[in-house]
Structure 1
């Protein structure tokens, strides 16, 4: 074996893993690592912020199901990744983050950018709560084993990010090592459910009069879309996904009924709360999804009987008691349940089926409610009206990326998507600015699909600089900025809770607001247009999406609206000030 530096070992192992991209910003703490990629068959991407590098890798995985790697320097370059890593961790997105660290002979001496007051080289402690595991490599010969384990941990079981801290001298040290084969350190099958508990679940579902299926993010991670749809059609059971499973079934399918929770559909909440059996697959039951666990608003468990499937046993029964809990992979277990039900009963017909008729009636009522919002041509526009034009021009397989905030709160329940992995949206950590970089990752993962990042102006400004990464690398993404001149989602929340006289939340006025057309010019984005009237939206969006290279469309939308523009059908517990 030829002698390799630590940086070269990392590069060559990533090649073995099939990693196509490495994202990060060079620093003095990562120079030896980055040098190892000069001759690698891996493209190095350089966002303008380390948080964005992680979001880019996150969006890439969500769009194609393959992991990326991220690198940073020591110190603030490393700490800048934490928000991105936490976002991935909460949503169970696997990626590998390499950070620089002090030279091993200088640990604890407080060298430039070292965190050392609690213990030497203490940055891994920062990463521990937001990663599946954080490794420290103190010798170059440890690298092959560490890299193998890092990918194994990131991709196995419940996936998630893994951190590898690599001292500067280890990056540059030379060793004669053999790189392991990834396939020799991975499970070669997915875990199925215990046959007895699968049988118990099938019996409950076969006897149910009002079953509902609640797929969560775990179904998207395990690519269980075929199994979920086949089971739903066999039972004629409505599908009520979480937002992290948006796209798990086509949203024009007759068994899709929207979502449950605070901003769920009226149909989703009605059917979920009146089910006799709830089959939850890869679902966490968070506060937004459950209307903060208020009985009977989104779910009523018990008396509804819960069958809970999850690869992580800690999630089973965490927030609701289970009738049957099954640990296993979402794709495998869903298929097992369907097979077991097939052996017990014939497929349920939609003809002369009162439950099916109720599903269609409730969904029609919801669609009419959304259609009324989408057809409103008032000026300034609503975000709902922007969504209407975007859906008109975006092909069925187009990808929409959203961050936290008002646009996400409107897009998730209202905007229909039809294919898996075409809705990319940060979930449980609710991170502003996520979409700017995640959209770049999504486009790299799916170069033949149009990618639109729908972003609020407040969120866009959080990570706006990363749009220049799209320019540098020629990534064809469309940034659709819905500009309501401030952090309106939170401002409206403050108004609803306390009244206008107690709002501490600055509106962006003519003196403080950003001119996005000028910003686009300064970023060398050569397609940028502002739209004020809704009748101009379709044409502008069509041209932006067709444009080769990054594009910005700024849609001026209403500043103030009840409930931040969302249709509130559930509840969300946000404690008020008590006096």
Structure 2
């Protein structure tokens, strides 16, 4: 055999990552990934290793990067605790259909079951992959180094085709260092580049149903974003003259200042959105799961009116994954296909068979404008910006006015996220980066770092509650290491206030237990997060008044590196969040 052609398993993996165009790898080295780490060292001029301070954060960084530029990255960990730390990040990525490759070290193949350091083996030898299996699209457990080339190719294809999602490779320590003489496949010779299309008869049927509708609605989910169907959905809405509703993760799929934009529906949505959705006679749903929060827990007549009766709303549901078709509502036309391709086919058929509507003269359009105006007036009246501490609503208003149209905004679970759905406008694709169906806390800061790596010339801001921030605030260290100008706005109300507000809504205004941060005397306790940022040598400000927000933003974005703005926000139940509508 030719020794020059020999590569270790670790080297094969890293070289394939480079061939796929992967620029960054997030990882915490340990004894369980020593061989793989050394392979990264040998290729350090081609791929940069970034050190998250907890493995979950590394997954969030990779997802933040993908959400902005559409390219998957890799996370690598050691055996045991390091591997298991990825599970929350993987679950978040899996539920939201986000591709990321996670490679975890594991026990030597010939030593499985002996109980080596950090092995879990009482019920099954090297059982750690069982913990990860439910939260990945596919899992590979390698038993021989010759499997590496094919597994790497399959992993990337699976991540990026069909319903996208994370893939896990369990990589034993001996395979990382074992010699292999099998050449790597050319990634381009194994890819599926065509977009799945649908039978033309179903396109014609859907077009006919839409054009015969009196109150059609276009409902967008996050798959519209991953399919890059932005121009198609905009043209489709304008051709038919139908209002557009978006899910939480798809707010950036349609320009929010467009006159056909009708905001979001559901319990965390808007009054405008609910009025539009429950009065629809035909809904074209693109890449959405119809989750409970966007349906008001499926109670008929609140957000939606789908059903078998003649007077019920008709549903055309399009998704890349057959698992979602008809899962939560009965469908009249179920279409499995790529969102961009299906929309393009619908537009082609529409242009052959119908004239484009002048929606500006339609009574339906005028009704939508009334709903939009009423909602915008409500938000304006809701925000009491003379209060101190300031309301979150006022912070969002000041931030939106300050940011450029293509600025990237990152959020996680909590009141901040809920209010952004109702009050914050997005204008460009890939600018709304938020934790979705798994509702993960601790997502904002690491995802914002990933977003900035993907778009170094764009403004990137993270809007995060204090309870959320404390789950991953160690990643300020990573931000400073990379010297990325990510601006983190910490909205401090000394609580997990979204749950406090929920307890009050369910059990009464006096309720609120184990969700607010008190000291031993029963008084509100909060760290000074600006001083914590100072400890990381990061520019910071601590403010509480509305007029201080824009000067702080100006100072933060003027920095070469990261910045933290801590804003003390109102804790009063009347001003701590925003109302639910369903």
Task: Answer whether TM exceeds 0.5 for this pair.
Answer: yes
After TM superposition, the structure 1 stretch with the greater mean CA deviation from structure 2, 368-377 or 290-299, is 368-377
Aligned twin of 1:531: 543
Q: How does 1:104-115 map to 2 (within 5 A)?
A: 104-115=109-120
Deviation for aligned residue 1:330: 0.6
Within the candidate set 255, 260, 264, 1:255 is matched to: 260
Question: Aligned partners of 2:531 and 2:488: how far apart in 1?
Answer: 15
Q: Does the CA contact (< 8 Å) of 1:492 and 1:563 recur in 2?
A: no
Corresponding residue SS for 1:469:
helix
Aligned twin of 2:137: 132
* CA offsets 1:105-138 (integer angstroms, 9 cap, x no match): 1101111111112211111111111001110111
TM-score normalised to the size of structure 2? 0.96
Aligned twin of 2:189: 184
Within the candidate set 454, 478, 490, 1:469 is matched to: 478
* CA offsets 1:442-494 (integer angstroms, 9 cap, x no match): 00001110100000000000111012111111121001000001111111212
Aligned twin of 2:322: 313
Q: Does the CA contact (< 8 Å) of 1:436 and 1:453 recur in 2?
A: yes
Q: Is 1:119 the equivalent of 2:124?
A: yes
* CA offsets 1:236-292 (integer angstroms, 9 cap, x no match): 100001111111111100100100110211111111111110000001000000010
Deviation for aligned residue 1:517: 2.0
TM-score normalised to the size of structure 1? 0.96
Unaligned runs of 5+ in 1: 571-579
Q: Is 1:163 the equivalent of 2:168?
A: yes
Q: Does the CA contact (< 8 Å) of 2:476 and 2:533 recur in 1?
A: no
Question: Aligned partners of 2:87 and 2:502: how far apart in 1?
Answer: 27
Corresponding residue SS for 1:18:
coil
Question: Aligned partners of 1:117 and 1:136: how far apart in 2?
Answer: 19
Question: Aligned partners of 2:6 and 2:506: how far apart in 1?
Answer: 65
Aligned twin of 1:507: 517
Question: Aligned partners of 2:176 and 2:546: how far apart in 1?
Answer: 54
Question: Aligned partners of 2:228 and 2:257: how far apart in 1?
Answer: 20
Q: Does the CA contact (< 8 Å) of 1:215 and 1:242 recur in 2?
A: yes
Deviation for aligned residue 1:338: 1.6
Within the candidate set 567, 570, 579, 1:555 is matched to: 567
Within the candidate set 465, 481, 491, 2:500 is matched to: 491
Corresponding residue SS for 1:89:
helix
Within the candidate set 274, 277, 281, 1:276 is matched to: 281
Within the candidate set 353, 367, 371, 2:362 is matched to: 353
Question: Aligned partners of 1:417 and 1:285: how far apart in 2?
Answer: 21
Aligned twin of 1:227: 232
Aligned twin of 1:208: 213
Aligned twin of 2:420: 411
Corresponding residue SS for 1:418:
coil
Aligned twin of 1:573: none
Q: Is 1:522 the equivalent of 2:529?
A: no
Question: Aligned partners of 2:358 and 2:384: how far apart in 1?
Answer: 35
Aligned twin of 1:576: none
Question: Aligned partners of 1:390 and 1:559: how far apart in 2?
Answer: 20
Q: 1:539 to 1:351 in 2, by over 3 A?
A: same
Question: Aligned partners of 2:511 and 2:217: how far apart in 1?
Answer: 44
Within the candidate set 549, 554, 565, 1:542 is matched to: 554
Corresponding residue SS for 1:295:
coil
Aligned twin of 1:380: 389
Q: How does 1:42-53 map to 2 (within 5 A)?
A: 42-53=47-58
Aligned twin of 2:578: 566
Q: Does the CA contact (< 8 Å) of 2:384 and 2:391 recur in 1?
A: no
* CA offsets 1:511-535 (integer angstroms, 9 cap, x no match): 842111221122221x100111111
Q: CA RMSD in A?
A: 1.3
Deviation for aligned residue 1:508: 4.3
Q: Is 1:92 the equivalent of 2:104?
A: no
Corresponding residue SS for 2:105:
strand
* CA offsets 1:523-572 (integer angstroms, 9 cap, x no match): 221x10011111111111121122110100011101132495123222xx
Q: Is 1:31 the equivalent of 2:31?
A: no
Q: 1:537 to 1:106 in 2, by over 3 A?
A: same
Q: 1:351 to 1:37 in 2, by over 3 A?
A: closer
Deviation for aligned residue 1:501: 5.2
Question: Aligned partners of 1:426 and 1:30: how far apart in 2?
Answer: 29
Q: Does the CA contact (< 8 Å) of 1:493 and 1:563 recur in 2?
A: no
Q: Does the CA contact (< 8 Å) of 1:85 and 1:130 recur in 2?
A: yes
Corresponding residue SS for 1:307:
strand
After TM superposition, the structure 1 stretch with the greater mean CA deviation from structure 2, 258-267 or 225-234, is 258-267
* CA offsets 1:1-42 (integer angstroms, 9 cap, x no match): 621111111110000100010001111101110110113201
Question: Aligned partners of 2:198 and 2:121: how far apart in 1?
Answer: 46
Q: 1:152 to 1:351 in 2, by over 3 A?
A: closer
Question: Aligned partners of 2:494 and 2:419: how far apart in 1?
Answer: 17
Aligned twin of 2:25: 22
Question: Aligned partners of 2:452 and 2:429: how far apart in 1?
Answer: 15
Q: Does the CA contact (< 8 Å) of 2:413 and 2:439 recur in 1?
A: yes
Unaligned runs of 5+ in 2: none
Corresponding residue SS for 1:37:
helix
Question: Aligned partners of 2:402 and 2:389: how far apart in 1?
Answer: 21
Task: Count residues with an aligned counterpart.
Answer: 569
Question: Aligned partners of 1:2 and 1:496: how far apart in 2?
Answer: 67
Q: Does the CA contact (< 8 Å) of 1:206 and 1:344 recur in 2?
A: no
Q: Does the CA contact (< 8 Å) of 2:570 and 2:576 recur in 1?
A: no
Q: Is 1:420 the equivalent of 2:429?
A: yes
Q: Is 1:4 the equivalent of 2:24?
A: no
Question: Aligned partners of 1:328 and 1:48: how far apart in 2?
Answer: 39
Corresponding residue SS for 1:192:
coil
Aligned twin of 1:329: 338
